[in-house]
Amino acid sequence: METVQSIKQRLSIIGNDAGLNRAVEKAVRVAPTDISVLVTGESGVGKESIPKIIHQLSLRKHGKYIAVNCGAIPEGTIDSELFGHEKGAFTGATQTRSGYFEVADGGTIFLDEVGELPLTTQVRLLRVLENGEFIKVGSSSVQKTNVRIVAATNVNMYEAIEKEKFREDLYYRLSTIEINLPALRKRKNDIHLLFRKFASDFALKYKMPTIRLEENAIPALIDYRWSGNVRQLRNVAEQMSVLESSRMINLSTLQTYLPTMGSNLPSVLGKDKSKSDFSTEREILYKVLFDMKGDLNDLKKLTMKLMQNDNIDDFQKNNESLIQKIYNKEESPVPEKETEVFSLPPKTTENHRIEYVENNQVDYPYIDAIEAEEETLSLHDKELELIKKSLERHKGKRKLAADELGISERTLYRKIKQYDL
All CATH 1.10.10 domain ranges of the chain, comma separated, are: 379-419
Taking 50 as the pLDDT cut, the residues of the chain under it are 265, 267-277, 329-345, 347-362, 364, 366-367, 369-373
379-419: CATH, from 1.10.10, 1.10.3470, 3.40.630, 1.20.120: 1.10.10
Cβ within 8 Å of residue 132, ≥6 positions away:
144, 145, 146, 147
CA distance 374 to 272: 37
Cβ within 8 Å of residue 46, ≥6 positions away:
13, 181, 229, 230
Architecture of domain 4-182: 3-Layer(aba) Sandwich (3.40)
Percentage of the chain exceeding pLDDT 90: 54
Write down the pTM of the prediction. 0.61
pLDDT tens-digit series, residues 343-380: 444 544 444 444 444 444 445 454 454 444 455 667 77
Q: Show the CA angle centred on residue 170, arms to residues 272 and 115, nearest 5°.
A: 55
Q: Are 326 and 295 in contact (CB under 8 A)?
A: yes
All CATH 1.10.8.60 domain ranges of the chain, comma separated, are: 188-257
CA distance 108 to 329: 63
- What is residue 376's predicted lDDT score, i.e. its pLDDT? 60
188-257: CATH, from 3.40.50.450, 1.10.510.10, 3.30.70.1290, 1.10.8.60: 1.10.8.60
Question: 188-206 vs 229-243: helix axis angle to the nearest 10?
Answer: 40
- What is residue 11's predicted lDDT score, i.e. its pLDDT? 84
- What is residue 385's predicted lDDT score, i.e. its pLDDT? 84
Identify the helix (H) or strand (E) that includes residue 205: helix 188-206
CA distance 48 to 229: 14
Q: How many CB atoms lie within 10 A of CB 375?
A: 9
Q: Are 392 and 410 in contact (CB under 8 A)?
A: no
- What is residue 282's predicted lDDT score, i.e. its pLDDT? 73
